[in-house]
Structure 1
Amino acid sequence: MRKLTIQIFAAFALLFNSYSSNACTNFLVTKGASADGSTMITYAADSHYLFGELYFRPAAVYPSGTMMKIYEWDTGKYLGEIPQASQTYSVVGNMNEYQVAIGETTYGGREELQDSTGLIDYGSLMYIALQRSKSAREAIKVMAELVEKYGYYSSGESFSVADKNEVWIFEMIGKGVDLKVDRKTKKTYNANRGAVWVAIRIPDGYVSGHANQARITTFPLENMKTSISSKNLDKIFDPNIEVVYAHDVISFARKKGYFNGKDEEFSFSDTYAPVDFGGARFCEMRVWSFFKEINKDMWKYFDYAKGHNLKNRMPLYIKPDRKLSVRDMMDFMRDHLEGTELDMSKDEGAGPHALPYRWRPLTWKYEGKTYFNERATATQQTGFSFVAQMRSWLPDAVGGIFWFSVDDAASTVYFPVYCSVTSVPEAYAEGRGDMLTYCDDCAFWVFNKVSNFAYLRYDLMIQDIKKVQNELETRFISQTDIVDKTALELINNGNKDEAISFLTDYTVNTGNYVVARWEKLFQFLLMKFMDGNVKQEDGKGGLKYNKYNYCPAHVDNPDYPDWWKKNLIEETGDKLLYKSEGGGH
């Protein structure tokens, strides 16, 4: 995510630096691959500039002639305006009332293909499509038509587009700028307006993922019964269609000199965003780390993910060895490359307290050479993340659950937001704070207090964080059945509005409770770990006093690991050696 064009042909070091801002992760799960028959997509919106909050746009009806202003999601820059739809649907976060959900990751691609004259950026593309679509297929159609008509402002983008029945990966890049003057109006226009793109339905029973590297390679063309080009875009609603692509996705590449092979050999990624070392190590590595947890054969692509064998590309989608649950998807979003030689908590960069994070820049130089830090799925600069769960066997008002969180996925809490809600928890609502405006009860700031404090003594504090995290998420997941049944009973009795009111109250109360509980956790951590000490717990959720009930019971001072002591001694020699004669403490 976060708009930054990857300079494919730039110098090696500059290429590395471009990836430092490309930072989102999406995992996609089809009905047949999930434990309960739901579809799921995950999304981490990672950015050093994005404030985590829960967006909400109620359904609305607009009079003819109403215009919609377009602002770039990344920067707030005004891009222009387009006609508003006569009817829009309710959207909470990245899911609408019809259980359509969309996520994204930016891959950048060829720098010269970004269109500075376009009106629609990738963020606007997602949220407009959610307001105008009742299915994943309709969302793809809306997105394709928007960029065709108004131009695509952003760089290369991968989208996850899902509904209660299907999951699609949709990759797009602009066509650059070719300014012409209209003979009649004398106005300047971009003759290359629009985008080239490919959308592929993930087969049922399979999973996919993308993380800032274009992943679609070859695909079946229109002479196949399962594939159509944008010239026949209305046929996208044919359930037999599994691939849709821009009619000029290949011819445009030929025109630009990017491709000269046979049509059936055309690869979208290899043409518009070739994978390189950074694309593999920083981006594909996150997809591989997800895949390897659910398919034992994925270790044969480890060299590729490390950037060492780029011809051995991973498949776009795989069949998991087991069915996946909502809890699984939450856990996959918390990955730090554990279980591999790249585990960020195991090398010296983790410090004595096993911190699985490295502060930016992502790449750095030493004695004329360029080095890098790993880029795992869980990262400190997450604005928000979610697990979108869509369930076809329930009415839309009950079926869609948008499991939402803010800040670092490893130390956050996902709470349930039903897609039919009419308001959101105050602590997560837009406008209560921003990256430069602190507020005591904003979810984003409360969660950042906990995570940033924990980074100081991660090995110890994360244990207390995980305990409360697991307690809350286990409770919310276990409550889902009774909440569903209560709302469903109301709907079946003809009280849909009452059901939606019930689901809204549940969502709002749950979200606000999470933030209040996390504030209590911060207070507990501050008292327990203040000044490097570790105070004893009393077994009742508090901290233990001494036998006189006057001051804390004996505090612990955990020792540093031997490897850290050894390195320190090698660096300082005898400077810190304790000498008993004449010495003191």
Structure 2
Amino acid sequence: MDRRIDPPFWSQPPTRRTPVKHLVSFLLVFLLAAPSALACTTTITGKDASADGSVLVSHSDDGLSDARMVYVPPMDHKPGSKRAVFYSHDALGFKPEWGGTETQRLVTDTRGPGYTNPKLAQSVPLGYIPQVAHTYGYFDANYGLVNEHGLAIGECTDKAKVHPQPDPDKRIFYSAELSRVALERCTTAREAVELMGQLIEQYGYYGTGETLLVADKDEGWVFEMCGYDMEGAGGVWVAQRVPDDGFFVAANEFRIRKIRKDAPDMLYSKNVFDIARKKGWWKPADGALDWAKTYSGGEFHHPYYSLRRVWRAQSLVAPSLKLPAWVDGPFTTAYPFAITPDQKLDVEDIAAIHRDNYEGTEFDLTKGLAAGPFGNPNRFEGHGEAVSDGSLSSVKGAFERPLNIYRCVYSYVTQCRGTMPAGIGTVIWFAPDRPATAVLMPFYAGALNLPESVQTADALVYNEKSMWTAFNYVANYAMLKYSYMIKDIHALRDTFEAAALGGQKELEAKAAALWNDGKEHEAQALLTEYSDKNAAKVLAAWWELSHDLYIKYNDGYVNTKGDLGEPVFYPAWWLKKVDYPDGPLHYEKSAN
């Protein structure tokens, strides 16, 4: 397979400098916009830690941005072709000079029908790299997800010490485009890590620090990267293999610690030690270079913004470890790089992690005055998630940051199994919008396309043909009476997930029989049709659910046949907190 990287061949953007007409909008966006995926959580489960021997990769993309999962087909390219590298909104916020829109990450004719939009201006490349003769088909979102050969990727944003701006002459890659090039050209996790590392070293890196989880049917790697100088032309990176019996989680802070030279389970950029020494961030006398401590800026926003999620995820899969919820600082060693689960994990276990609101712990977001009378776990951040750490309140403080968050645009769990051909053995269980109120729907890596409903989404457009709109609509409505409505939502969600998980073995057996009989296209068509029909049923059922919730909980009552207008009052504890006992019970003014 041709993965070569020739010397840089740079594009000539429309102008080398930002056009004057964009200056005002550029400055406004720079000051006010935040990277759209600044709060992701991502996990890897090794093949010996999973219930079915698969390597599991998961990711929740936590920023109100582009919610589409797009199918990018395999393509053949003429000799001498160049591959455009586009700016990613997730790096440093939306920058209009590089095209796209606030809700549409790419507009280009070079990545298949999913990104073609004649009504919008084309995205402007930051630069080009040499194209290969053939690129693989894959599912794409704000980051590449999974390709036809069973290579899967997860992601989270990290706070580095330096977040350089893109520069066509020096820095053209962010993790999003790195992940896509890897899916286009690679079939194994290690191959993908090595390729992305080469691209950083040759073409430069901009934006925030990043963690990409890269997995295939055999192994999973944690690949972390960042810039090191606002005007520098390169980047630094390190990768560590997750043990086969291990579970790994990252939540917006670098998780790789000491770099062990020549260790078989570690890879790193050749400049990682020299840069740290030149910057004065580390010296050999300090001992082994601690990657996170050397190159990280710690946690975003406030203490435990990241660490609480790491604690919770590890505690859910290995409660026997009795990990401490409180630690001595952002670079604690209390939470190991990887842990061995108490019991082997499956897709539902991993999904439950992303759906968690700290229920049953001292941090339970369904409890207390902030949850209101009906246990709403959602806590709006007041712009606290912005890079600038701007706030919309003069009151200093913070809420706990959960694994399940209101501004998640999608989450998924990818199963990578080696017991079948990759197109069948690799399946992504994709859930638009926030994890706790969405349905995991299976889409196979060998599919010929994706349903239009999951390839259509725009946070600024109400569209009943969009799966994301349906889930987001119900999730927002549920906040009116969460403890009641969440039961209705989960009942329908569980019905669909049980059917999909329960029918998985039979469906895959039929597809494998066709595949092994030389009828690969028929097998792909079977899987594609199944996912299409399942998605159509989910979409129709979710809109019907929205109507049912409206009727059932209209005007604060519980309305059912034979019992219209059943009163639902507030709990006593909440009434006392909001001074209900001091209400107008007498004609005289209260002494309070």
Q: TM-score range by the shorter chain?
A: 0.7 to 0.9
Equivalent position of 1:217 in the other structure: 257
Preserved CA contact (<8 Å) 1:103 1:126: no
Matches within 5 A, 1:14-413: 22-48=38-64, 50-74=65-89, 75=94, 77=98, 78=124, 79-93=126-140, 94-111=145-162, 116=167, 117-178=170-231, 192-222=232-262, 227=263, 241-262=264-285, 264-275=287-298, 278=301, 280-304=303-327, 311-361=332-382, 363=384, 370-413=396-439
| 1:576 and 2:584 are equivalent in the alignment | yes
* Shift in Å, 1:554: 3.4
Percent identical among aligned pairs is 32
Residue 71 of structure 1 deviates from its aligned partner by 2.1
Tell me the CA shift for residue 564 of structure 1: 1.4
Kept after mapping to 1: 8 A contact 2:171/2:233: yes
C-alpha distance in 1 between matches for 2:355 and 2:421: 31
The question of whether the paired residues in 2 share the 8 Å contact of 1:336 and 1:343 is answered with yes
Aligned CA distance change for structure 1 residues 424 and 578 (closer, same or farther; 3 Å): farther
Match of 1:488 in 2: 512
The CA distance in 1 between the partners of 2:582 and 2:46, in whole Å, is 61
- The DSSP-based 3-state class of the residue aligned with 1:262 is helix
Correspondence 1:451 to 2:466:
no
Helix, strand or coil: the match of 1:353?
coil
Aligned-pair CA distance for 1:24:
0.3
The corresponding residue for 2:576 is 566
Residue aligning to 1:556: 566
Instruction: Sort the Cα spacing of 1:61 and 1:279 in 2 relative to 1 into closer, same or farther, 3 A.
Output: farther
Deviation at 1:491, TM superposition (A): 1.2
Shift of 1:309: 7.8
Which residue identity is paired with 1:111?
V
**Alpha-carbon separation, structure 1, partners of 2:443 and 2:49:** 23
Q: Output the CA distance in 1 between the equivalents of 2:540 and 2:34.
A: 38
Deviation at 1:299, TM superposition (A): 3.2
Letter in 1 for 2:204: G
Q: What is the SS of the residue equivalent to 1:554?
A: strand
2:252 alignment partner, SS class: coil
Cα drift, residue 177 of structure 1: 4.3
Question: Would the aligned equivalents of 2:374 and 2:481 in 1 still touch at CA under 8 Å?
Answer: yes
For residues 36 and 147 of structure 2, what CA distance do their matches in structure 1 show? 31
Partner of 1:474 in structure 2?
Answer: 498
The answer (yes or no) to whether the contact 1:414–1:473 under 8 Å persists in 2 is yes
Does the CA-based 8 Å contact 1:218-1:264 persist in structure 2?
Answer: no
Shift of 1:282: 0.7
Query: Contact 1:115–1:175 at 8 Å: present in 2 too?
Result: no
TM-score (norm: length of structure 1): 0.83
Going from structure 1 to structure 2, the CA distance change for 1:495 and 1:352 (only over 3 Å counts) comes to: same
**1:310 CA drift (Å):** 5.2
Letter in 1 for 2:249: G
* 1:459/1:243 CA distance change after superposition, 3 Å: same
Contact 2:137 2:148 in 1 (8 A): yes
CA distance in 1, matches of 2:573, 2:291: 47
- Alpha-carbon distance in structure 2 between the residues aligned to 1:396 and 1:164: 8
Using the alignment, how far apart are the partners of 1:81 and 1:468 within structure 2?
Answer: 47
What SS does the aligned partner of 1:427 have? coil
Q: How does 1:508-523 map to 2 (within 5 A)?
A: 508-523=532-547
Answer yes or no: is the 8 Å Cα contact 1:19–1:282 preserved in 2: no
Cα gap change, 1:19 to 1:98, in 2 (>3 Å):
closer
Q: Name the amino acid aligned to 2:159.
A: G
Q: Corresponding residue for 2:27?
A: none
SS in 1 for 2:496: helix
**2:210 alignment partner AA:** E
Q: CA deviation at 1:155?
A: 1.8
1:257 alignment partner AA = G
CA distance change for structure 1 residues 366 and 460 in 2, over 3 Å: closer, same or farther?
A: same
Task: Provide the C-alpha distance between the structure 1 equivalents of 2:212 and 2:36, rounded to a whole number of angstroms.
Answer: 20
Contact 2:49 2:341 in 1 (8 A): yes
For 1:10, the equivalent position in structure 2 comes to: none
Give the corresponding residue for 2:448: 422
Q: In 1, Cα distance between the equivalents of 2:160 and 2:322? A: 27
Q: Is the 8 A contact 2:189 2:221 kept in 1?
A: yes
Counterpart contact for 2:366–2:377, Cα < 8 Å:
yes
Deviation at 1:160, TM superposition (A): 0.6
User: Could you say which residue in structure 2 is the equivalent of 1:184?
Assistant: none
Kindly tell me: are residues 21 and 388 of structure 1, through their superposed partners in 2, closer, same or farther at Cα, counting changes over 3 Å? closer
Provide the C-alpha distance between the structure 2 equivalents of 1:71 and 1:283, rounded to a whole number of angstroms. 29
Cross-structure match for 2:105: none
The yes-or-no answer on 1:497 pairing with 2:521 is yes
Q: Is the CA contact 2:160–2:298 (under 8 Å) kept in the aligned structure 1?
A: no
In structure 1, the gaps of 5 or more residues are 1-16, 179-191, 228-240, 537-543, 547-552
Alpha-carbon distance in structure 2 between the residues aligned to 1:308 and 1:112? 22
The count of residues paired between Structure 1 and Structure 2 equals 513
- Whether the 8 Å CA contact 1:115–1:174 is kept in 2: the answer is no
Give the deviation of 1:300 after TM superposition. Answer: 3.3
1:18-64 deviation per Cα after TM superposition (whole angstroms, max 9, x unaligned) = 8997210001100000001000011011112x131111111111001
For 1:137 and 1:480, the matched residues in 2 are separated by 29
CA shift in 2, pair 1:394/1:469, >3 Å: same
Q: 1:115 to 1:254 in 2, by over 3 A?
A: farther
What is the TM-score normalised by the length of structure 2?
Answer: 0.82
Distance in structure 2 (CA, Å) of the matches to 1:311 and 1:23: 20
1:104 and 1:278 mapped to 2: Cα distance?
19
Task: Say whether the 8 Å CA contact 1:362–1:373 is kept in structure 2.
Answer: no
Amino acid across the alignment from 1:412 = A
- Compared CA separation, residues 454 and 366, structure 1 to 2 (3 A): closer
Tell me how far apart the structure 1 counterparts of residues 394 and 139 of structure 2 sit (CA, whole Å).
Answer: 49
Runs of 4+ off more than 4 Å = 17-21, 112-116, 276-280, 307-310, 362-369
Corresponding position of 1:230: none
Specify whether residues 574 and 334 from structure 1 end up closer, same or farther in structure 2 by C-alpha distance, changes over 3 A only.
closer
Residue of structure 2 equivalent to 1:231:
none
What's the offset of the Cα at 1:136? 0.4
Mapped to 2, the partners of 1:367 and 1:489 lie a distance apart of: 61
